[in-house]
Structure 1
């Protein structure tokens, strides 16, 4: 089985996505599951996890509506207002009733405050997630984001953290702070990292398997295959490569592993991290 643990959908007629602009013109349109399905089948993907793409209730509700209609969807990483801890439980109840809620994400990299994750209301809300057995996806674009993830992993050891896009490695440069912080995160057993969004990195915004190999090898060293999971990041990844090429790049990076280790990255870790049915 292969699980793509990071797939986005959006409908511009019924939702607002402020980060979509002419700067990413090829993906500044509606993307539905029907468009992704043949590409997923061709790549051998059996199940997907839908991941929020906007900090709105409308975006999450749309994902649950798709999940209700498609057996392809194994889980949804939704959005709730983490700045309102007194109502987080109520929002989580709503999503749990709507469908297969497996985690929560917030676009922390779009927040002007790099210390947003350290705010007291956010920490209180994340404690509620931990109590409910839900994961939290962290988009670590800046070293500061990863520093807060380390602190959060220590403060809430019952909360499963999923580091999206491998913490945004500095493709084309020395690992530096990214390498050190990923090592710190690798020492926290409640943290896993996602091999997603990698082909769009680097100076040319298009990275090959050779470009990515040093960073993936480091991740394998510090996390091991049983704490890494695959995500295609469709359709954002299409800014660099078609889905089939994204999958081929991932398989090339995993080629040195044993079949059992590859299975962990391609399905086992996702099933455990998100508690997929």
Structure 2
């Protein structure tokens, strides 16, 4: 299995300012060996690192890890999409670097949900499109998911990788139909693929309500059924979202449910999610 969404961080290599307000278990460093050890029992043989900070220092750090660890298939790295001149300068160098497989920003953390559609960002995305570099995109709001349709529709040569299936509102039935409709709109565009990763119960509607832990097998089966119906197995891939998953039950809870759901699929579908889609989308070698 290829884990397409593994994070690591070392706060001596990049600042990771968002961790200052993150749950306590995430604030410490999370090294690669710890993550690979946590995932090995679930058949993870290779993994793709995914950026977790908006610095070129972290981009350098991730690519160093990929160069040194054969179990890493590549890294989705940061480039400042709001600065197309820097993207134009750095992208050719990165594209020629073994292990560089895509670009991502923490666009979901920005106050403007339409940030990704800004003029400078669109110039940078055009450069990714020309270079054949996939864009991972995080959607946590309905508006973010709507923007996938705009991006993919106006950049048909760009592969948009929707992280975490656009954050299905598990346990929030009132929001579920809106998510399924927006997901179907995104999936209608052939250049959009998605990761079955980071699937957690939705935040409680009221602050006084207790937070939920990991999703149940029944909940994940429901999400996966919708994902397969909209994208099909050849446009879906699996990701652990470690170590973010440690605050929702940990690798044992999240990965056991995820792998169990995939194992209940027909063999060809399971193989696509386990490695086939990732190998094609990210251009991974054997």
TM-score normalised by L of structure 1: 0.95
Change (3 A) 1:240 1:272: same
- Identify the residue that residue 272 of structure 1 maps to in structure 2: 280
The answer on whether the counterparts of 1:162 and 1:194 sit within 8 Å (CA) in structure 2 is yes
- Identify the residue that residue 211 of structure 1 maps to in structure 2: 219
- Identify the residue that residue 84 of structure 1 maps to in structure 2: 83
1:267 Cα deviation after fit: 0.6
**In 1: Cα distance, 2:180 partner to 2:280 partner:** 25
**In 2: Cα distance, 1:23 partner to 1:6 partner:** 19
- Identify the residue that residue 261 of structure 1 maps to in structure 2: 269
1:200-242 CA distance string (max 9 Å, x none) = 6454342222223322211111001111100000111111123
- Identify the residue that residue 252 of structure 1 maps to in structure 2: 260
1:124-163 CA distance string (max 9 Å, x none) = 1111111111100110101111111101111011100110
- Identify the residue that residue 199 of structure 1 maps to in structure 2: 200
Change (3 A) 1:171 1:202: farther
1:50 Cα deviation after fit: 0.4
1:143-185 CA distance string (max 9 Å, x none) = 1111111011110111001100110111112322211110011
Q: Number of aligned residue pairs: give it.
A: 276
Corresponding residue SS for 1:50: strand
The answer on whether the counterparts of 1:129 and 1:159 sit within 8 Å (CA) in structure 2 is yes
Corresponding residue SS for 1:198: coil
**In 1: Cα distance, 2:155 partner to 2:190 partner:** 12
- Identify the residue that residue 165 of structure 2 maps to in structure 1: 166
1:91 Cα deviation after fit: 1.3
The answer on whether the counterparts of 2:42 and 2:259 sit within 8 Å (CA) in structure 1 is no
The answer on whether the counterparts of 1:192 and 1:228 sit within 8 Å (CA) in structure 2 is yes
Change (3 A) 1:272 1:221: same
Corresponding residue SS for 2:80: coil
1:98 Cα deviation after fit: 4.3
- Identify the residue that residue 26 of structure 1 maps to in structure 2: 25
Task: Report whether the alignment pairs 1:227 with 2:238.
Answer: no
Corresponding residue SS for 2:162: strand
| Structure 1 unmatched ranges of 5 or more | none
The alignment's C-alpha RMSD in Å is: 1.5
